[in-house]
Structure 1
Amino acid sequence: MNRCGTHGSTKVNKGHNFVYAWVGNSVTQCPDQCAWPFVQPVYGPKVPPLVAPNGDIGVDGMIINIATVLAGTVMNPFDGGYFQGPATAPLEAVTACTRIFGSGAYPGYPGSLLVDKRTNVSYNAQGMKGRKYLLPAMWDPHTSTCKTLV
């Protein structure tokens, strides 16, 4: 496969559409793309990779990709919803903010993040039972900026 995840729709019955999303294994599929910033990229700046919040580079990379694909599925389920640019190569709510996780992000640097002093993991969101996650920024059409959680 040549992508970390995708979404789309298909007709299953007359007048009924089925929306789907797919995310691949971040470790076996282009890890420097699909599991970044937990894996050092082949090309670009050689900054040390971040420590994965849940201790599994593949799963933590998949969480980033699931968030990206889920946002696109919800906001642009039938390729006529919210996106920027041409319909043949749309930038959706999260793909417009690729590789931005915290304030001050730039190519090769994910931005300022929270760091757990005990485990040294980087994150920007906290879930139930203290689980930590790294979630991508989303495009805010009102301010024309990528909004991050931290």
Structure 2
Amino acid sequence: MAPSTSRTSVFLTAAILTLLFAITPIACWRPWPHLNPNSSDLLYDASKKFEGSSEFVHLRYHMGPVLTGNITVHTIWYGRWQKSQKKIIRGFINSISDVHARHPSVAGWWRTVQLYTDQTGANISHTVQLGQEKNDRFYSHGKSLTRLSIQSVIRSAVTARTKPLPINPRNGLYLLLTSDDVYVQDFCGQVCGFHYFTFPSIVGYTLPYAWVGNSAKQCPGVCAYPFAVPDFRPGWKALKSPNGDVGVEGMISVIAHEIAELATNPLVNAWYAGQDPSAPVEIADLCEGIYGTGGGGSYTGQMLTDHDGATYNMNGIRRKFLVQWVWNHVVSYCTGPNALDQ
């Protein structure tokens, strides 16, 4: 193919991808199941078991890459963050590979993600480590971000004149976290976080990334449930969070959700259910709102209570966390380390 034709093809591809991304929410996390007749949510009601199991769920491998090498999470802290908030999030990410944590552990939760393989039979890596970090405390792209401007924030982080984030397309994950005073397109109304990959036309590279927002001031009852309850559920009582920060506590489960899906479907062509790769149903989507045995519908499942009354379901490094379960394609239902049958 001639060079000019090749360049035209690249630009057309980028334009098409940009259009798809701008129109269709990709790989989004929703805190509440919405009974949409065109979605998989109705399959829960038809299930003979809890934990989202259904013979109608067909999660398939579409031959794309998964993250089989050691996974490095590079973090962008956008806005103003307290040191205590950063410690909670860092603690969770470090806990993913900590095999010494008390059962049930975050590492035990990750073992379900490790069951997924690529076309060579190689499993997803057991190692998830923190990489370099970038602070953007002055809101370089403003306090209102669109889906595309999120990619511009990432571009600024990897091309910064001082201490740029390293470029690691193979095993790097880029995690953009926005503080509680930043509005992001579709935040609260449709999503609490999402993942995709950057466009070379914007960032210069194809990098798997995720965005997760702190909902403490905007919609804690939506994105920090069950540590805050939504206005449309009067009479419900919020549970006590294990780390004392409701907004960040809500972020932990969303971060877990997105990292699990980035590992199994980084370029949106690996593990997902459904026929539309622009709107895939992924391993964490199938288990939204499920944190323990018996979970499904509006019931979270059986969780654990700490000595001080805080609710959690997993142990990490010197901390406890509440993290939603993920889909186990071997047994075809949602699983977690705190399952009563394990």
**TM-score interval for Structure 1 and Structure 2 normalised by the shorter chain:** 0.7 to 0.9
Measure, in 2, the Cα distance between the counterparts of 1:82 and 1:43. Answer: 34
Residue matched to 2:329: 141
Measure, in 1, the Cα distance between the counterparts of 2:230 and 2:290. Answer: 15
AA of the residue aligned to 2:308: T
Choose the corresponding residue for 2:265, options 61, 76, 80. 76
Measure, in 2, the Cα distance between the counterparts of 1:64 and 1:98. Answer: 10
1:41 and 1:108, CA in 2 relative to 1: closer, same or farther beyond 3 A? farther
**Post-superposition offset of 1:46:** 4.8
AA of the residue aligned to 1:135: V
Contact 2:196 2:210 in 1 (8 A): yes
Choose the corresponding residue for 2:298, options 93, 96, 108. 108
Residue matched to 1:94: 284
1 or 2 for the larger relative contact order (CA 8 Å, sep ≥6)?
A: 2
AA of the residue aligned to 2:278: T
Residue matched to 1:20: 209
String of CA shifts for 1:117-146, please: whole Å, max 9, x gaps.
x210111111112x1000110001111101
Query: Any stretches of 5+ residues in structure 2 without a counterpart?
Result: 1-184
Report how many residues are paired.
147
Structure 1 or 2: larger helix share?
Answer: 2
Measure, in 2, the Cα distance between the counterparts of 1:46 and 1:148. Answer: 29
Measure, in 2, the Cα distance between the counterparts of 1:45 and 1:139. Answer: 31
**Post-superposition offset of 1:12:** 3.0
**Post-superposition offset of 1:109:** 2.4
AA of the residue aligned to 2:200: V
String of CA shifts for 1:7-35, please: whole Å, max 9, x gaps.
1112438x952111110112234322211
**Post-superposition offset of 1:106:** 2.9
TM-score (structure 2 length as normaliser): 0.40
Q: CA RMSD in A?
A: 2.0
1:96 and 1:40, CA in 2 relative to 1: closer, same or farther beyond 3 A? same
Query: Any stretches of 5+ residues in structure 1 without a counterpart?
Result: none
TM-score (structure 1 length as normaliser): 0.88
Measure, in 1, the Cα distance between the counterparts of 2:239 and 2:330. Answer: 31
Contact 2:222 2:229 in 1 (8 A): no
Measure, in 1, the Cα distance between the counterparts of 2:230 and 2:219. Answer: 10
